């Protein structure tokens, strides 16, 4: 899969006021690599020396879920004086999806032209899919950001007919999931999510069904890709540091605590269903795809008896008694025999354990040779190999966390509250809370930096940790600040 998704070209005729050390006039936007524009000569790919330009003025990045998906490039303004795209001001801290030949302009007049490596032709797209271009207060833009067997995910904009703007400002983009038929699963997903409000759970703004039976689910546009594509490099998944893994796991645990306390079990937790706001360390993550989630009766000990989910992440008690062919299609369901004791919300904790294992080592713990029979056999035994070389640099507390999540016996497996009190998480709770307030809730002016010399987190009034690629290359103009595994 090609790493380059777009090119940013410097307009040499604009008022650059650039640092003399930057002589390249075009830059490649690669998968999971964040580029920065601003005054900072160490962090920015192109330094613009002008008082109206912020230290880090704006950032750009590209994502691509897989070789068949559409490449997507985003820009986010982070400045005091604003960034313009095609002479319209971007909303601060809100990602904007770039289109081919867009012109980016900084306050001093410096201009950059964006060129997409692969430009999509969408002229008759809406007509061919028989999708409405407007619905209620929404306008659907013919830009695909995702596709699947269910249908497509497009960009949508909220229309406010009463708003009078003093300046031409770019509309905030949302996502709309359009399902080709009114499948019960999708209607169920919208019904569950519309009742939820948590920073780490995808937010649904509205859902509706048209005369043709198409379901429209309007939700937040999450622009950093999913956790699977973030870890992917070629045909392999590349591990990330314990620090970065822990920050992601902490957010997922808070989301699961909220879900489970409200009687909701996700049941399909996996890398693909964890979305990132930006493809860089310390980013906010959200849980998505609640199509097979289960809403249990409150204040009861109701258990579930349906085989669902993805085998690689699926807890053993969810059931393997059904026909093996069930697993050839994700999310297809079958009912277990009535004598089975069923399962509860701890099935999500098992999935979390698998995710943690993959993030720390790049290895799926029960994948075996990749066949259904191999996965099912390994999941049933629950045997973990902590002697593998991938675990050598991992702390005992992290191993203990994974082991506690991946107990075959649900009696021995931790629930979400117990997971939050595992040593790996609990000894860093105060520091994790500070990071959470800054990066997720955005309540603090303090930024976060990881101290590489001590076994803890340090909060300092300084820049956030540098974005790193999955396999960083040496760059004389860019100093990488890698997280320490020493936690």
| 3-state class (DSSP) for residue 430 | helix
Residue 167 tokens read as 């300046």
Mean pLDDT on 123-147:
75
Sequence-distant contacts of 162-171: CB under 8 A, at least 24 apart: 167/89, 168/87, 168/88, 168/89, 169/88, 169/89, 169/90, 169/91, 170/85, 170/88, 170/89, 170/90, 170/91, 170/96
> Annotated active-site positions, please?
268
- Inter-residue long-range contacts of 454-459, CB under 8 Å, 24+ positions, other chains counted: 454/486, 455/486, 455/487, 456/428, 456/431, 456/487, 457/243, 457/428, 457/431, 457/432, 457/487, 459/431, 459/434, 459/435
Parallel, antiparallel, or unpaired: how do β-strands 35-38 and 46-47 relate?
parallel
157 three-class SS: strand
Q: At what angle do helices 396-405 and 346-361 cross, to 10 degrees?
A: 140
| Predicted pLDDT of residue 295 | 77
Q: What is the pLDDT of residue 33?
A: 92
Least confident of 51-60, 226-235, 425-434: 226-235
DSSP of 68-136: TSPPEEEEEE--SS--EETTEEPPBT--EE--TT-EEE-TTS-EEEEEESS----TTHHHHHT--SEET
Q: Are strands 134-135 and 138-148 parallel, antiparallel or unpaired?
A: antiparallel
Give the mean pLDDT of 201-230.
89
What are the chain's domains? 4-116 (2.60.200.20), 125-220 (3.30.200.20), 227-426 (1.10.510.10)
The pLDDT assigned to 168 comes to 56
87 half-sphere exposure, CB direction, 13 A CA radius = 0
Q: Is 177 annotated as a binding residue?
A: yes
Q: Which residue has the tokens 């259904």?
A: 372
Looking at residue 48, what DSSP letter applies? B
pLDDT of residue 128: 64
Q: Residue 471 — very low, low, confident or very high, per pLDDT cuts 50/70/90? A: very low
Among the residue ranges 35-39, 72-76, 220-224, 456-460, the one predicted with the least confidence is 456-460
* Mean predicted confidence (pLDDT) in 300-324: 65
Could you read off the pLDDT of 322-367 as tens digits, one per residue?
434 444 443 334 444 444 577 788 999 999 999 999 999 999 998 8
Number of H-type helices and E-type strands within the chain:
10, 27
pLDDT tens, residue by residue, 204-217 = 888 888 887 788 88
Instruction: Give pTM, 2 decimals.
Output: 0.82
Reading the block at residue 275, the tokens are 């979305």
Predicted confidence band of residue 462 (pLDDT cuts 50, 70, 90): very low
Residue 440 DSSP one-character state: I
């Amino acid at each position: 899969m090609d790493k380059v998704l777009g090119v940013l070209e410097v307009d040499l005729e604009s008022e650059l006021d650039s640092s003399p050390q930057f002589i390249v006039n075009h830059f490649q936007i690669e998968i999971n690599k964040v580029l920065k524009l601003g005054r900072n000569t160490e962090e920015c790919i192109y330094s613009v020396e002008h008082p109206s330009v912020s230290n880090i003025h704006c950032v750009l990045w590209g994502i691509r879920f897989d070789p068949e998906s559409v490449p997507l490039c985003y820009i986010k303004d982070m400045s005091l004086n604003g960034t313009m795209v095609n002479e319209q001001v971007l909303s601060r801290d809100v990602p904007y999806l770039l289109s081919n030949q867009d012109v980016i302009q900084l306050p001093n007049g410096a201009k950059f032209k964006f060129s997409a490596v692969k430009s999509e032709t969408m002229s008759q797209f809406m007509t061919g899919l028989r999708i409405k271009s407007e619905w209620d207060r929404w306008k659907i833009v013919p830009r695909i950001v995702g596709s699947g067997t269910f249908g497509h995910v497009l960009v949508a904009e909220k229309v406010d007919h009463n708003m009078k703007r003093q300046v031409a400002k770019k509309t905030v983009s949302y996502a709309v999931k359009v399902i080709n038929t009114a499948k019960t699963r999708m209607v169920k997903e919208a019904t569950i999510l519309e009742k939820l409000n948590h920073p780490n759970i995808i937010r649904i703004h509205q859902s509706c069904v048209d005369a043709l039976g198409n379901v429209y689910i309007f939700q937040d546009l999450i622009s950093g890709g999913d956790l699977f594509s973030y870890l992917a490099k070629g045909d392999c998944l590349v591990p990330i540091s314990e620090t970065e893994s822990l920050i992601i796991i902490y957010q997922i645990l808070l989301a699961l605590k909220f879900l489970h306390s409200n009687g909701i079990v996700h049941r399909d937790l996996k890398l693909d269903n964890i979305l990132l706001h930006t493809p860089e360390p310390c980013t906010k993550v959200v849980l998505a795809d609640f199509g097979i989630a289960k809403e249990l009766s409150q204040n009861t000990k109701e258990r579930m008896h349906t085989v669902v989910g993805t085998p690689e992440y699926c807890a053993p008690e969810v059931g393997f008694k059904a026909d093996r062919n069930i697993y050839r299609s994700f999310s297809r369901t079958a009912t277990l025999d009535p004598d089975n004791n069923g399962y509860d919300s701890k099935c999500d904790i098992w999935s979390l354990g698998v995710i943690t294992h993959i993030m720390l080592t790049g290895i799926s713990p029960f994948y075996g040779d990749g066949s259904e029979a191999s996965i099912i056999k390994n999941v049933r035994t629950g045997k973990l190999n902590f002697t593998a070389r991938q675990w050598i640099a991992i702390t005992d507390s992290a191993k203990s966390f994974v082991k506690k999540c991946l107990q075959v016996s649900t009696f021995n497996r931790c629930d979400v509250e117990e997971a939050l009190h595992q040593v790996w998480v609990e000894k860093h709770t105060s520091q994790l809370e500070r990071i959470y307030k800054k990066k997720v809730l955005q309540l603090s002016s303090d930024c976060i930096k990881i101290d590489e010399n001590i076994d803890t987190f340090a909060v300092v009034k300084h820049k956030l940790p540098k974005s790193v690629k999955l396999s960083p290359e040496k760059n004389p103009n860019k100093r990488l600040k890698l997280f320490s595994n020493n936690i």
